[in-house]
């Protein structure tokens, strides 16, 4: 009997049933997709790590080195270190690599090197996650460049450098665990040993070394690294640990999963609000029925069961549809993972983990319905059957009389005052509009922030037009001095600042020493945004990155002291500021030039500059690149865009999905709400039409009320996405070193285009819904 009631109820209220079901399905799809992504991420990262066997410590170095000393060190550290291997990289500039129709890889921020496969560990794999085995005359191209230049298997690349000229056929793509991510600015092309030796003999590239260590089972990474530094072994490049590789590989997919989970939670909230809206709008109609059931002696539990069963059925059916659909939808989001981590995402973990979403949604919906249904307990049979008793005795003060209306037409005034009169009903709509606006605007803000030059502030780089990175060569010091002289005399350069980064031992919270990269120079020229404090201005001052300041790092705040060893001498520095930096594992520092250099551990030289007004940045970049061919010269916008390229691409997908989801929500909810209102107000509408109001007059009333609610919702949504959104994203990015993200808000998009688009869509939806219902036969309604 109850199931018959449920079935009839579905048939009577099709639109409501469909709308609520759609939201439940969307919530399940997104929830299941995000758990799917997380499951795939865990499995594919784990598998890739197992097959590629990445190093636990990678020390980059260029120049002279003694392998025998490294071997001796490895033996001495046998408790910590299981294996050691040195990979020799032959670095080439992008302009040396030709492909397609006279194109080169010039302009890339990536350091390009040609290598051959390692023997012991740190293997570079193909797209089937098998160790690359390259034949003579062939090359495996990193996935980054495959995407960037649309290179296909069978295409050729030609390497021209000095007297060296060689054509390679692309036979595979290189899936490189250590250097996959665009955040790692080095990429390895894999070639055959014979070709490699030939390139080496002809000195086609500059040599750089990856001195890599694989720790033993209980090996201590920090101890091994400290011992390496103390032993004075070659270390004039950055040191990277296993954790950083993992973080960079997972970063963009983890970010996508987080955003989808957030949207899924919002959709569950919307589905719950829909259910509450349905109850509130229809409970008056059902009041009499409930009264009749109670009068007949049917228990409250059984009455509630009628409503609960309806939503149970809806949640189960929608949950199944959502779960199955998620395996198709997830392909929209896991493209990056398929390419960079694993082409085969067929692990079983995702089928199990994805069940969490429909189960969670089912329990949330049922629990919420039980809470809302408590209203039935308060209804007595007599009160429900005699609604005149309920109405009388209410002595609410009458507000917004028609005479007070000075600004609007009577119909619009009626619509606006209706929002006040029935605010309990409309407030749910405000929340839904606010949430939908949030879903649209938050990803847009994130996308604009990632795409802006201001992103450099989260990479520890002050805002500037251009940046020159000098690579480690024998003439680097002379080149650096020569460059500064040239810049000083170049009238096209408005201002510039040189920076030198060295590795310094710094005393940590435990009293031992960690090696931290400290950049020295004048930081007033290109200031950073500081979380607290300011840039170092003179002797004895140091600013540190957020992660360095955290408990996991040096555990310092502004005003604390830090002991740094410079050329063998301890120097006590005062922390003057904390900034954000997501590069180099998030642990960097900056100090004034007066700190001095550790000559044996200079890592890199950088010059940041601004061009004069009207100067073409691209031409300037090209000029300095050609003049200093060992340097990497970049337009800073291009630099940041390339570094976070894959995250930007994924964010643009989320922007589109966010807009589509928000539009679906808004159209369905508006239609649902208007239909329910029109149904509830049927008799009142008939009275107005009998007096001579046209259907257009009545449409204006509902349009006015709903538009006002929409505008309120948009305002709330914009505020939430700008402020709450910033807070949420900052919390998420804090683990990567960016603890206070400030959105770049493009006003015409978020304050004009999006709100206008929402207003137009809601307007059309109301118009369409009103047209259908207001044409009902007037006399039939009046009689009923």
Partner 1 sequence: MNNILEARSMNKKVELGKDNELHILKDVDLTIEKGEFVSVMGPSGSGKSTLLYNVSSMDRLTSGSVKFKGLEMVGLKEEELSKIRLSNMGFIFQDINLLKNLSVIDNVMFPALVSKNADKNAVNLKARKLLEMTGIEKLADNNITQASGGQLQRAGICRALINDPDINLETSRPEH
For 528-560, the three-class secondary structure string (H helix, E strand, C coil) is: CCEEEECCCCCCCEEEEEHHHHCCCCCCCCCCC
566 forms beta bridges with 569
Name the E strands within 97-198. 97-99, 103-104, 111-115, 138-142, 156-161, 164-174, 186-191
CA distances from 466 to 112, 148, 262 (A): 20, 22, 37
Q: How far is the CB of 425 from partner 1 (least distance, A)?
A: 13
When the beta carbons of 64 and 777 are compared against partner 1, the nearer one is 777
Comparing CB distances to partner 1, the nearer of 64 and 775 is 775
User: Do residues 668 and 19 make contact, with C-beta atoms less than 8 angstroms apart?
Assistant: yes
Q: Which is nearer to partner 1, 442 or 685 (CB)?
A: 685
What is the closest distance, in whole angstroms, from the C-beta atom of residue 650 to partner 1 in the complex? Answer: 50
Q: Which is nearer to partner 1, 417 or 740 (CB)?
A: 417
- Return the residue of 1, 64, 613, 777 that touches partner 1, per CB under 8 A: 777
In the window 107-136, what residues touch partner 1 (CB under 8 A)? Answer: none
**Residue 563 or 687: which CB sits closer to partner 1?**
687
Nearest to 504 by CA among 595, 586, 606: 595
Q: Binders of partner 1 among 388-417, rule CB under 8 A?
A: 391-392, 394-396, 398, 401-403, 405, 409-411, 417
Would you state the structure tokens that stand for residue 252, as one six-digit string? 């963009």
Which one of 4, 12, 50, 783 is in contact with partner 1 (CB under 8 A)?
783
CB of residue 767 vs partner 1: minimum separation in angstroms? Answer: 16
Examine residue 696 and tell whether it contacts partner 1 (CB under 8 A): yes
Choice from 166, 620, 689, 740 touching partner 1 (CB under 8 A): 689
* Close Cβ partners of 600 (under 8 Å, ≥ 6 residues apart): 232, 235, 236
> What part of residues 202-231 is at the interface with partner 1 (CB under 8 A)?
none
Least distance to partner 1, CB of residue 779, Å:
4
- Interface stretch with partner 1, choices 88-96, 455-463, 608-616, 686-694 (CB under 8 A): 686-694
Whose Cβ is closer to partner 1: residue 346's or residue 779's?
A: 779
Distance, in Å, from the CA atom of 317 to the CA atom of 338, rounded to the nearest integer, reads: 31
Please state, as a whole number, how many other Cβ atoms lie within 10 Å of the Cβ of residue 420.
Answer: 12
Q: CB-wise, 575 or 688, nearer to partner 1? A: 688
For 451-468, give the DSSP string. TSGGGGGGBT----SEEE
CA-CA distance, 458 to 528, in Å (whole number)?
A: 9
The yes or no reply on residue 93 touching partner 1 (CB under 8 A) is: no
Nearer to partner 1, 396 or 488 (CB): 396
Q: Determine the 3-state secondary structure of 504 from DSSP.
A: strand
Burial category of 398 from C-beta neighbours within 10 Å (exposed 0-12, middle 13-18, buried 19 and up):
exposed
627: closest CA among 456, 463, 489? 489
Q: Rounded to the nearest whole angstrom, what is the least distance from the CB of residue 782 to partner 1 in the complex?
A: 7
What would the two tokens of residue 648 be? 């930007």
Q: Which stretch binds partner 1 (CB under 8 A): 86-94, 536-544, 613-621, 691-699?
A: 691-699
Taking the least distance from each CB to partner 1, the nearer of 752 and 768 is 768
One of 119, 165, 694, 724 touching partner 1 (CB under 8 A): 694
Q: Near partner 1 by CB under 8 A, which window of 367-375, 502-510, 561-569, 683-691?
A: 683-691
- Identified binder of partner 1 from the candidate list 421, 427, 463, 495, rule CB under 8 A: 421
Residues 308-367 that bind partner 1 (CB under 8 A): none
Closest to partner 1 by CB, 201 vs 396, is 396
Query: What is the closest distance, in whole angstroms, from the C-beta atom of residue 391 to partner 1 in the complex?
Result: 5
Residue 393 or 614 having the CB closest to partner 1 = 393
Residues forming a β-bridge with 88 = 209
- Out of 200, 265, 687, 715, the residue judged to bind partner 1 by CB under 8 A: 687
The structure tokens listed for 116 are 């051959």
Going by C-alpha positions, the residue among 432, 419, 463, 414 that lies closest to residue 639 is 463
| Least distance CB 407 / partner 1 (angstroms) | 12
Shortest Cβ 383–partner 1 spacing (Å): 15
| 706 lines the binding site for partner 1 (CB under 8 A) | no
Minimal distance in Å, beta carbon 43 to partner 1?
A: 59
**Helical pair 242-296 and 356-372, crossing angle rounded to 10 deg:** 40
Q: How far apart are CA 556 and CA 408, in angstroms?
A: 61
> Using CB under 8 A, which residues numbered 555 to 574 contact partner 1?
none
Candidates 154, 297, 511, 692: give the one binding partner 1 (CB under 8 A): 692
In the complex, the smallest distance separating the C-beta of residue 675 from partner 1, rounded to whole angstroms, is 20
DSSP helix/strand/coil, 750 = helix
For partner 1, the closer of residues 74 and 701 by Cβ is: 701
Q: Residue 244: which residues within 8 A CB-CB, separation 6 or more?
A: 584, 585
Query: Is residue 684 close enough to count as binding partner 1 by CB under 8 A?
Result: yes
CB of 369 to partner 1, least distance (A): 29
Question: Which tokens is 550 given?
Answer: 């955290």
Q: How far is the CB of 388 from partner 1 (least distance, A)?
A: 9
Distance CA(27)–CA(713), nearest Å, equals: 21
Query: Please, which residues bridge with residue 504 across strands?
Result: 516
Judged by CB under 8 A, the number of residues near partner 1 is: 35
Query: Running DSSP on this structure, what letter comes out for residue 771?
Result: H
Confirm or reject binding of residue 283 to partner 1 (CB under 8 A): no
Q: Is 695 in the site for partner 1 (CB under 8 A)?
A: yes
Q: Quote the least distance from Cβ 691 to partner 1, whole Å.
A: 5
Residues of span 26-45 touching partner 1 by CB under 8 A? none
Applying CB under 8 A, which of residues 690, 764, 768, 772 lies at the interface with partner 1? 690
Q: Please pick, from the candidates 235, 693, 741, 762, the single residue that binds partner 1 as defined by CB under 8 A.
A: 693
Q: Which of residues 158-177 bind partner 1 (CB under 8 A)?
A: none
518 binds partner 1 (CB under 8 A): no
Structure tokens at 569: 């001498």
Q: Which of 182, 297, 186 is nearest to 251 (CA)?
A: 182
Alpha-carbon gap, residue 624 to 481, rounded angstroms: 14
Q: Which helix (H) or strand (E) holds 576?
A: strand 569-579
Q: Which residues, including other chains, have CB under 8 Å from residue 756's CB and lie 6 or more apart? A: none
Cα separations (Å) of 498 from 336, 524, 590?
Answer: 37, 12, 13
Q: Provide CB contacts within 8 A for 549, sequence distance 6+.
A: 555, 556, 557, 575, 578
Say whether 613 sits in a helix, a strand or coil.
coil
Strands 103-104 and 111-115: unpaired
- The smaller minimum CB distance to partner 1, of residues 160 and 421, is found at 421
Helix axes 242-296, 725-733, angle to 10 degrees: 140
Q: State which residue, 136 or 690, has the beta carbon closest to partner 1.
A: 690
Q: Which of 697, 706, 721, 722 binds partner 1 (CB under 8 A)?
A: 697
Question: Based on CB atoms, which residue is closest to partner 1, 555 or 694?
Answer: 694
| CB 643 to partner 1: min, Å | 59
Please identify, using beta-carbon distances, which residue of 65 and 400 lies nearer to partner 1: 400
Q: Which is nearer to partner 1, 277 or 688 (CB)?
A: 688
* Cβ nearer to partner 1, comparing 1 with 402: 402
> Please, are residues 721 and 627 in contact by the beta-carbon 8 Å criterion?
no
In sequence order, the 6+-apart residues with CB closer than 8 A to the CB of 580 are 457, 458, 460, 528, 529, 531, 545, 546, 737, 738, 739, 740
Start-to-end C-alpha separation, the chain: 27
What is the binding site for partner 1 (CB under 8 A)? Answer: 391-392, 394-396, 398, 401-403, 405, 409-411, 417-418, 421, 683-684, 687-697, 775, 777-779, 782-783
């Amino acid at each position: 009997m109850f199931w018959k009631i449920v079935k009839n109820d579905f048939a009577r209220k099709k639109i409501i049933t469909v709308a609520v079901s759609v939201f439940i399905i969307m919530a399940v799809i997104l929830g299941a997709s995000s758990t799917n992504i997380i499951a795939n991420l865990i499995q594919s990262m784990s598998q890739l790590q197992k097959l590629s066997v990445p190093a636990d410590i990678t020390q980059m170095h260029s120049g002279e080195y003694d392998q025998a000393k490294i071997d001796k060190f490895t033996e001495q550290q046998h408790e910590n270190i299981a294996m050691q291997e040195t990979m020799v990289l032959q670095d080439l500039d992008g302009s040396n690599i030709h492909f397609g129709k006279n194109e080169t890889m010039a302009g890339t921020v990536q350091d390009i090197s040609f290598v051959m496969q390692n023997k012991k560990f740190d293997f570079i794999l193909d797209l089937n996650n098998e160790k690359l085995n390259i034949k003579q005359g062939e090359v495996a191209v990193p996935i980054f460049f495959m995407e960037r230049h649309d290179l296909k298997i069978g295409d050729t690349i030609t390497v021209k450098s000095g007297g060296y000229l060689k054509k390679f056929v692309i036979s595979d793509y290189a899936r490189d665990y250590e250097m996959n991510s665009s955040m790692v600015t080095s990429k390895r092309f894999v070639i055959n040993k014979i070709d490699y030796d030939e390139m080496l003999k002809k000195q086609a590239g500059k040599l750089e070394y990856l001195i890599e260590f694989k720790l033993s089972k209980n090996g201590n990474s920090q101890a091994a690294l400290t011992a390496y530094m103390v032993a004075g072994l070659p270390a004039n490049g950055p040191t990277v640990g296993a954790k950083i590789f993992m973080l960079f590989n997972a970063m963009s997919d983890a970010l996508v999963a987080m955003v989808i989970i957030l949207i899924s939670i919002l959709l569950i909230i919307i589905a719950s609000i829909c259910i509450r809206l349905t109850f509130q709008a229809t409970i008056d109609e059902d009041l009499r029925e409930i009264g009749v059931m109670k009068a007949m002696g049917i228990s409250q539990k059984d009455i509630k069961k009628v409503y609960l069963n309806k939503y149970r059925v809806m949640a189960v059916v929608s949950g199944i549809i959502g779960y199955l659909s998620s395996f198709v939808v997830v392909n929209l989001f896991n493209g990056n993972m398929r390419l960079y981590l694993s082409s085969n995402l067929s692990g079983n973990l995702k089928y199990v983990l994805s069940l969490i979403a429909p189960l969670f949604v089912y329990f949330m919906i049922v629990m919420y319905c039980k809470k809302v249904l408590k209203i039935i307990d308060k209804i007595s049979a007599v009160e429900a059957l005699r609604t005149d008793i309920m109405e009388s005795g209410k002595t609410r003060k009458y507000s917004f009389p028609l005479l007070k209306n000075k600004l609007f037409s009577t119909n619009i005034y009626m619509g606006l005052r209706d929002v006040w009169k029935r605010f309990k009903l409309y407030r749910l709509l405000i929340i839904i509009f606010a949430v939908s606006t949030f879903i649209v605007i938050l990803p847009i803000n994130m996308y604009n922030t990632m795409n802006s030059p201001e992103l450099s502030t989260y990479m520890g780089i002050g805002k500037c037009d251009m940046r020159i990175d000098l690579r480690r060569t024998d003439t680097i010091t002379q080149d650096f001095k020569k460059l500064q002289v040239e810049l000083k005399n170049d009238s096209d350069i408005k201002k510039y600042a040189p920076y030198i980064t060295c590795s310094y031992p710094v005393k940590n919270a435990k009293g031992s020493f960690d090696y931290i990269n400290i950049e020295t120079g004048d930081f007033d020229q290109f200031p950073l945004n500081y979380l607290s404090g300011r840039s170092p201005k003179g002797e004895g001052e140091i600013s540190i990155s957020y992660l360095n300041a955290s408990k996991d790092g040096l555990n310092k705040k502004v005003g604390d002291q830090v002991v740094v060893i410079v050329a063998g001498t301890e120097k006590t520095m005062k922390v003057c500021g904390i900034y954000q930096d997501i590069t180099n594992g998030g642990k960097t520092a900056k100090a004034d030039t007066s700190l001095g250099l550790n000559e044996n551990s200079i890592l890199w030289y950088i010059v940041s500059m601004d061009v004069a007004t009207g100067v073409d940045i691209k031409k300037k970049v090209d000029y300095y690149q050609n003049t200093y061919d060992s340097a990497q010269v970049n337009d800073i916008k291009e630099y940041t865009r390339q570094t976070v390229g894959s995250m930007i691409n994924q964010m643009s997908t989320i922007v589109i999905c966010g807009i589509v989801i928000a539009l679906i929500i808004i159209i369905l909810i508006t239609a649902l709400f208007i239909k329910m209102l029109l149904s509830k107000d049927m008799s009142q509408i008939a009275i107005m039409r009998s007096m001579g109001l046209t259907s257009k007059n009545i449409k204006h009333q509902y349009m006015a009320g709903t538009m006002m609610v929409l505008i309120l919702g948009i305002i709330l949504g914009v505020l939430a996405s700008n402020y709450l959104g910033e807070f949420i994203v900052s919390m998420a990015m804090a683990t990567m070193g960016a603890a206070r993200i400030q959105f770049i808000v493009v006003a015409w998009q978020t304050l004009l285009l999006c709100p206008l688009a929402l207003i137009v869509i809601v307007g059309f939806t109301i118009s369409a819904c009103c047209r259908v219902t207001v044409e009902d036969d007037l006399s039939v309604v009046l009689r009923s």
